[in-house]
Structure 1
Amino acid sequence: MNTKKLLQIGPLPRGLEQRLGQRYDLHPLWTEPDRARFLENSKGRFAGGVTMSRHGCPADIFSLLQGTVVACFGVGYEGLDLEAAKHHDVQVSTTPNVLNDCVADCAFALVLSVARRIVAADRFVQKGRWPTEAFGLGTRVSGKKLGIVGLGRIGRAIALRAGGFGMDVRYHGPRPRPDATYPFEPDLISLANWADFLVVACPGGDRTRNLVSADVLRALGAEGYLINIARGSIVDEEALLQAIVNQSIAGAGLDVYQHEPHVPPQLLDNDRVVLLPHIAAGTRETRAEMEKLVEDNLESFFRSGKVLTPPG
């Protein structure tokens, strides 16, 4: 018999939802016709909550879940009101580390794809153009300069892969990392001006909103490429659209957008852009590890009162 009732803030990956449903009594919040009234009348009913980064968790839910836990599937926590969580003594967990390698792999796949025009070349062959036309040249990746915005766990994994291509790496962030072996660049515009490839790998949220601005894109220049596997909010999307349309940057590889799943039409059917549907962590191996970590965090809280992997 399921003894603990969890508030499910939004739909979860099917496998995770099935396994949690075998151990807990899940209540789907999004099916409630009057959300505010339901929350008002539900205090004390739930032993905790479960969500995804894309659903987040606002202050009113943390208020409802006073003294319990919210386990989040995903590494991003900008949608979780952590101040409200602290105020209401709610333990919060995310799923870091287990997705580092796959996200870094995807970042480097985008580097190679935009520079070597892999997707455009595939379309060229698929459309039967090769027998009668010559395909244009791409850009070499090996030995080039890679700037990383955010040298956290994922940023370090990207830098490691860049080393395999003999690339020169520098990074930008709020402050230098004392254990980093790569040069720190305190000014993002200077980093963009130096880099051939600028890879965005920092957290989203208000502090980084539109961090990659029109000025940064201008500094990146007509031979520079932008890669974003972090959050769409970090890049000024209107400035990026202008940079692509005006060809003031060489191209972009994007896995994230400001208003997912909606992608600006200016980016579509453009051989200088590679677009992915937010799949950087989307591998069977990573998905399984992320799901297990959600389960482990809930189990840890109910056993010891502490989660295993809080945000940060």
Structure 2
Amino acid sequence: MPEKVLVYSRFPKALMLRIGERYELLDAAGKPPAQVFGADQLADIRAMITAGGTPLGADMMDMMPKLGAIVCYGTGYDGVDLAAAAKRKITLGHSPGANASSVADIAVTLMLAAIRRLPVADNYVRSGDWAAAKPSPMMRPQAGMRGRKVGVYGMGEIGRKIAARVASFETEVGYFSRSRHDVPYQYFPSLEALTEWCSVLMIAVRAGGDTHHIVNADILRKLGKDGYVVNIARGSVIDQPALIAALSEQTIAGAGLDVYAKEPHAPDALSAFPNVVLSPHIGGHTLESHVAMQDCVMANLAAYFAGKALPYEVRGA
């Protein structure tokens, strides 16, 4: 009999096919598990799969007294109550670096699209304004990438890949993280110092209590009227109302966002800015990334059910 695994977050069924070939999946489809499964079914659950950003607290863990492993599909685990998991001796696993290349790619895509105003240019062609030689203030020449100073906030696997990519655009690259790394980029002692130096701020830091709304009105003010902010980390890192205010007041030049304070993100003030490029949290949404994340999930589950340490265990969080 295959081991039973609860699928806690809402995932497209296609993403669970490979995992379902090895385990009996109890898919809650994003609903509270108690609404879908009986207490007797949940009582037998020893392992579960979740998306890292989905809130998972002590009350939910208590519904599964045999729960011993929470496996996050993806790098993040900010939705998991770490203290509650530790208290219950529940092991936490994730998929570190599995989608790093894809997320770095979308970060650079958003940066270029915002700076070169590609959505505006696309509409200029589609609307017929270009063919009609209709003037557009938004189509005036903008400063390009050569010589720009790009600051990377967070120098983990994704941050490193972002830095390597943007360096190829003839830019200067600097970074700030909790510690120095052996990388060929200028280190700054604080986020404030990095932001004052750069004209593009790439946010690639892990979400948590210490980074909640850390990119606030003051940081955006330091970025300046020619500055752009790109966020592919978590929406919680940016104070979204402060970002909207900065865009409205032209405190900054624009933004590229793949993550939001609330997801899915409904059209709001952000949607109205032509200098903001939006994507629906698709940074890691590529075929190769999903295969890599599934490999990590299955390796973690296999190790747990075999009584071994998780190969991709979250440590020191």
Fold shared by both chains (TM-score > 0.5) = yes
Matched residue, 2:233: 230
- Give yes or no for contact 1:66–1:88 (8 Å, CA) kept in 2: no
Tell me how far apart the structure 1 counterparts of residues 238 and 33 of structure 2 sit (CA, whole Å).
35
Distance 1:138 1:8, change over 3 A: same
Matched residue, 2:119: 119
Matched residue, 2:150: 146
How far 1:201 moved relative to its partner? 0.4
Please list the CA deviations of residues 36-58 of structure 1 after superposition, one character each: whole Å capped at 9, or x if unmatched.
9956x667512211111232432
Matched residue, 2:77: 77
Q: May I ask how many residue pairs the two structures share in their alignment?
A: 309
Matched AA of 2:206: P
Matched residue, 2:200: 197
Between 78-87 and 147-156, the greater mean CA deviation after superposition: 78-87
Between 221-230 and 132-141, the greater mean CA deviation after superposition: 132-141
Distance 1:65 1:93, change over 3 A: farther
Matched AA of 2:218: D
Matched residue, 2:163: 159
Q: Which of 176, 179, 182 is residue 180 of structure 2 equivalent to?
A: 176
How far 1:192 moved relative to its partner? 1.1
How far 1:251 moved relative to its partner? 0.3
Q: Which runs of 4+ in 1 moved over 6 A?
A: none
- Give yes or no for contact 2:155–2:177 (8 Å, CA) kept in 1: yes
- Give yes or no for contact 1:67–1:89 (8 Å, CA) kept in 2: no
Matched residue, 2:134: 133
Please list the CA deviations of residues 4-63 of structure 1 after superposition, one character each: whole Å capped at 9, or x if unmatched.
222221222322323333332222345568569956x66751221111123243223434
- Give yes or no for contact 1:66–1:89 (8 Å, CA) kept in 2: no
Tell me how far apart the structure 2 counterparts of residues 144 and 208 of structure 1 sit (CA, whole Å).
26
Matched residue, 1:185: 188
Matched residue, 1:110: 110
Tell me how far apart the structure 1 counterparts of residues 271 and 154 of structure 2 sit (CA, whole Å).
28
Is structure 2 residue 270 aligned with structure 1 residue 267? yes
How far 1:256 moved relative to its partner? 0.5
Between 105-114 and 136-145, the greater mean CA deviation after superposition: 136-145
- Give yes or no for contact 1:172–1:186 (8 Å, CA) kept in 2: yes
Between 155-164 and 180-189, the greater mean CA deviation after superposition: 180-189
Instruction: Give the structure-1-normalised TM-score.
Output: 0.91
